[in-house]
Each structure stands twice: as structure tokens, then as C-alpha cells.
A and B are shown apart, each in its own frame.
Chain A
Amino acid sequence: MSAKIEGWGRYPSQEGEVWETQNLQALVQKMTSQREVIIRGNGRSYGDAAIGEKTTLSSRGLNRMKHFDPQTGLLTLEAGVLLVDVLNCFTRRGFFPCVVPGTKFVTIGGMIAADVHGKNHHRDGGFGHYVSSLQLILPDGAQTTCSPGENPQLFQATIGGMGLTGIISQATIRMKPIETGWVAQKTFVASDISQALDILKRTDEAPYSVAWIDCLAQGSSLGRSLIFAGEHASRDDVSGSSDMALFPDARRARVSVPPGFPGWALNRTTVASFNEFYFRAGERKAPDAELIHWDSFFFPLDSILSWNRLYGRRGFLQHQCVVPDNNSLSVLGEILERFARSRRASFLAVLKRLKGGNGFLSFPAPGYTLALDLPATPDVFVLLEEIDAIVVKAGGRIYLAKDARQARHTFEAGYPRLDQFKQLRRSLGAEARFQSRLSRRLGI
């Protein structure tokens, strides 16, 4: 059945069929009978990473869990299992994934393929760091095991490899014990970008930290932010409040953005008033510690279903870059300045510290990452080209899982291990088999 295939940003969009089965054998058969396929998880990458050049295969039918060992925290599962299912099953038993991205509606396979990072990347690294092994279906249909000790090259290429080395069918991931399902959060206020970077550096000790930026603020308040630092609350933290369950279940989303939501509703005025309100509210809270439900702390946007419709029919682009530590202040200042001058309103702007990555094409690098959402209009494409130039000059790169538009030269400048990756792909015979619109666009 034909439908629209698109990423979370709803740009680009393509007519086609996403082929799905619950049977691994059938999936392998289909894959080996096609040229230029890509595997798609839950479609939460923003751009064209999970849109097949010719055929798109879904991993969603491979959604069975296999084994959990509470002694080691190792969980073995098929790659199409959703993170939300893992959370629902295990937070109540006192276990939490070592790394979670900003939404829980992603598959485990997708988390590996994008080597996703969370609010703890500055301390704990990316999701790939906690994959102890995985099963990969190679271009000829053969299944192989990869881990840091077994086929290490292939393992490193597959972590963050955007599905271009093979189909991840199964993985074993490490979970960590938690004492409660609550997060003790402290809020800090930064009146400009330099303070924001200072506070992020100072809160390096906190397991989780992230900054929300008011990207419409200009002049002396350029980059004014709220920094949220958190850690898993202990039993003692929670025991004071008797009405709080130790391990609360996931929150049910109550709000959903309807189809056909008008794109003009999200404009400079509405976003500016929201930002002002949000900033003031954060100022009032700071710096007292408070207990936040795990779902609200890690996945605040999941409480609004289909929030990607906020930008209307035309869709939106998310721009996420990382810039190295040296000169980060002046580079980020320049980028924010450029955004502010464009008078474009971003619904969301997030800044956080990263450390080094795991895979050949992993996004994280030591430095600061900045993510912004912008409507997919012609002037925004021009603006983002300019921003990319700043990023490249600073020695930074753009996140593939968010990308729908970066130029090939931007990509090539940002990923120094690309040649190694391409070479491995050639030796596997993966080039003829696995192609997404992203890999074609960037010549991977």
C-alpha cells in the first residue's frame, strides 16, 4: 500500500511503500531480492536517512525482547523494539537504559544506527558505548555477530552507520540500576551565551545536563538560557513525599497537534512570548532542586503527540551541529547572532556538551552541540548554508539523523573517518544493496 514516506521533519517527502513483516527470514529474502534498500525504524530521524532510494523496509515487526539478566543488566532484544516499551517494562523494575535520546518513540536499531546521545553524553558517551553486541544481516543475507571484540571494524562502522552496513536484527544493550523513577533537577539561569557555556562546564559533574536557549534574544542577552542539571533521585530523595510512587509509569500524552495545523501559528511573536514566559518561570524556580518524573525530564516533547505538525504542511528542518571546544564561545556566538538576525523563530533551541563518539560516522565530538528547528522555507535553506560554513570553518559537523539538506562538502569536511567507512562498505558489497536518500545525497 502506497503512502507518504517522510522523516519526523516531514521534509523531504516521498510516495512509496514501507514493507513490513514480523518474520526475519522474510525480511532477509525481500532485502536480497532488491537493490538500494534501507531499513526504517519508527521514522523519528528528521530528514531523509530512513527513506529508501528505491525500497524502504520496516524493522517494526522485529519487536520481540529475548532475554534480561538483572545481575548484569544486559538486555537482548530484536532491533524493532521501541524504547518506550523498554522503559515501560524496566523502569518499574529499577532499570534504566544507559543513554536515551530526546524521544522515547525510537527503535533500538535506530538508536544504534544513529549512535544517539542523551543529556549525559558529556560523562557517559553515546548509546553505542552500551551496545555489548549486535546481529547484523550483511548484503548477501548472511547473519553475523559484531561486538567490540568480534568483527570490531564492522561493529564500529555499524554504530552510527545510519543503516548503511547492513540490517541490525538484534542487539544486547546494557541497562543500569536506578533507585527510583525520579530525577532530582536543578535549574540555573544564564543571562548570555558565555555564562551558559560556563555553567554547562561547571555542571559537568552532574550526570545529566542540557541548556535551553532563547534563540530570539539579541544583543547583550544573546544566548540567554536555562541550564537543567539532573541525576537519578535516590530512595532518600523521594521518601519524603509519601504520595509519590517509587517507580511511576510512563505519562500518557494528553495533547496532540491536529493534522492541518497552520504553519503560520508558530511565528516570531508567539515563540517570543513563549520564550519570555518559559525563561521567567525558570528564573523563579532556580536554583532549588526539584523532583521530576523520568518521562518529563527525558522526553518533555513526547507529551505533545505529533508536535512535528506545528510547522504546518511544508515541514521543518532541524539543524544540529557540534563545534569543538576551542573558540566555541565565539563560534556559537556567531551562529546565534546569525540566527537572531534572520528573525526566524525556532520552536526549540538546545545546547549541550559532548565528548568523543564511538563509530566511524558517529556525530558526537568533544565540544558543544547546538540544535534548532526551523520551517522548511527557501530562505531557511540559504541561512543554513551560511551556518554550515561557520561550522565547517570551526572544524565542526552536522548530525546525520537530523539532516535533510547539508551539502556534500560540508559532510565530507565534518567526518574524517568517512573514507574508512566507505572502504568498508565497498568491501562488504553494501553500496549496491543499502542506499537511503541521505546516502545518495551525500555520496556515502
Chain B
Amino acid sequence: MNGEQRLLLVIGATSDIGRAAALHYASEGWSVCLAARSMRAVQREADDIATRTGRTVSCHVLDILDAASFEPFLDHLPRLPDTAICAVGMLGDQSISKTDFVHACLIMRTNFEGPALLLNLLSHRFKIRGSGALVGVSSVAGDRGRASNYVYGAAKAGLSTFLSGLRNELSSSAIRIITVKPGFVRTKMTAHMRLPPVLTAEPEEVAAAIFNAAQGRKGRDIVYVRWIWRFIMIVMSFVPEALFKRLRL
């Protein structure tokens, strides 16, 4: 970008992964736009990152469920970002979504519908400009359906497939599409769970993995933050459905 300051957009900037990614990019000299639902919460993160790094950070309100607001939201950014990361996510409660349509619908729309539509819009604009990197934070839960979280998993599977399609479509352009499947991460979302340390990444690790994949010369298309998760998911993919359906995972 020849000395011009590069610009990152983080959607879901008050999530731990979004926040860590924004801080990582700002530490690398990028300007940052933070978007989240609550102005107060996003302002807190923006002040933090600006104070820590001395970089320019702007705040934007965005509701991922309000697709009609996406175009004006993008129009109001300081300019079209060079990289956009969607870190929106909602784990929800599988047992509630079993009977509560509203809850299930919220999980599906938050994890799939909103992010996919927004990333789609961004990809149009990137395509016209001829450059950019789009990062979607998906999940290993989307690789196979499990009884414990398949509403969330199915939504993330939708996002992964959507990103895979975008990548396929844009493969001949300079636009990068990156799918991140972090595995367990120590965040607010998992604070109530007892997580195995070896399988659990810190948000800062995820941020570094995103930066390396999106800004590195030869970044990966699909990022598992810890190598062990790539291994686990390969093994899982070989388990035949006839057997998989009996597993209690």
C-alpha cells in the first residue's frame, strides 16, 4: 500500500477474538474500524486499542441481524477496508433451541445469515476494487453435526460453505477469502466450560493466526489455530456416519 496506512474492519469487535485481532493489526501499524451492536461497549474497546497502540480507531454501530443496514454501514466507513474480519458468533443453548424456535432462529441468523450477507456485500466491493482479504471466523463445530450443539454447528457449516464458495468464485482474483476454525478458545463464550488446555487457544493466538493467514505471502485458506485441531478434524472426517451417529461427543 506504499506507505499509506492500511485499514482493518472488525465486525463483532467486542468479542474476545475480534478485539484481539483488532489489537494485533493495530500493533502492526494498521488503522482499525470497530463495529458491534452496542456503541458503549465498542467505544471501550476502541479507546483501549487507540491508547495501547497510538493508532487511529473508529467506532461503528452494527446489528448483524439487520441486513437492510449493511449497505449504509459500509458507505459510512472512512473508506473501504483492506481487510475485513467477521468475528460475530453466538453459541446459544442447544437444549433451549430444541423447543424454542425463536432461540434457534437467533443462533442461525447470528452465525450464518448476517455474516454471510455482509461478507457477500464486502466481497462485491473488494472485487470492484480488485483487492482485499475477507476473514470469517467459523468453527470446527461446523465440520460435523453433533448432538450437543448442532444448531450452532449447522449455522457455522453454512458460513464455512459460503466462504468456500466465495473463495472458489474469486480464486482468479487477488482477493483472499479465509475461513478460521479456531477450536476451543478461552473467551466469554466458553467461560462456563471446562476446556482441555492443549486444545484451547488464547484469543491472541487466534489473532496472530488470522494476521499470518491474511497478510502473509502464502497464507492458508482454512486456518485451524492449533495444529492438533486440523489433525482431529481430519480423523473425524474419516469416521463413517454409521459409526459417527453412535458417538457421544
List A residues at the B interface (Cβ < 8 Å).
Answer: 1, 20, 22, 64-68, 75, 77, 85, 89, 93
Contact = CB atoms under 8 A, between A and B. Distances in A.
Which among B52, B53, B54, B191 has the greatest number of chain A C-beta atoms within 10 A?
Answer: B52
A89 B52 contact: yes
A1 B194 CA distance: 8
Contact of A66 (B47, B54, B194): B47
Interface in B32-54: 44-45, 47-48, 51-54
B52 A65 contact: yes
A1 B47 CA distance: 32
Nearest to A66: B47
A77 B194 contact: no
Interface of B: 44-45, 47-48, 51-54, 188, 191, 194
B48 A66 contact: yes
B39 to A, nearest CB: 15
Interchain residue pairs A-B with the least CB separation, the first 3:
A64-B48, A65-B51, A89-B52
Contacts of A67: 47, 51
Nearest to A1: B194
A380 B144 CA distance: 59
Nearest to B52: A89
Which among B45, B48, B188, B191 has the greatest number of chain A C-beta atoms within 10 A?
Answer: B48
Contacts of B54: 68, 93
9 contacts: A1-B194, A64-B47, A65-B52, A66-B47, A67-B51, A68-B54, A75-B51, A77-B51, A85-B52
Contacts of B191: 20
A65 B45 CA distance: 9
Contact of A64 (B45, B53, B188): B45
A85 B191 CA distance: 23
Given A22-B188, A89-B52, A89-B53, A65 B194 contact: no
B118 to A, nearest CB: 25
A264 B51 CA distance: 46
A77 B194 CA distance: 31
A41 B38 CA distance: 27
Contacts of B53: 89
B44 A64 contact: yes
A307 to B, nearest CB: 22
Nearest to A77: B51
Contacts of B51: 65-68, 75, 77, 89
A392 to B, nearest CB: 45
A168 to B, nearest CB: 17
A61 to B, nearest CB: 9
A66 B47 CA distance: 5
A20 B48 CA distance: 19
Contacts of A65: 47-48, 51-52
A138 B110 CA distance: 38
Nearest to B16: A22
Given A1-B194, A64-B47, A65-B48, 13 more contacts: A20-B191, A64-B44, A64-B45, A65-B47, A65-B52, A66-B51, A67-B51, A68-B51, A68-B54, A75-B51, A77-B51, A89-B51, A89-B53
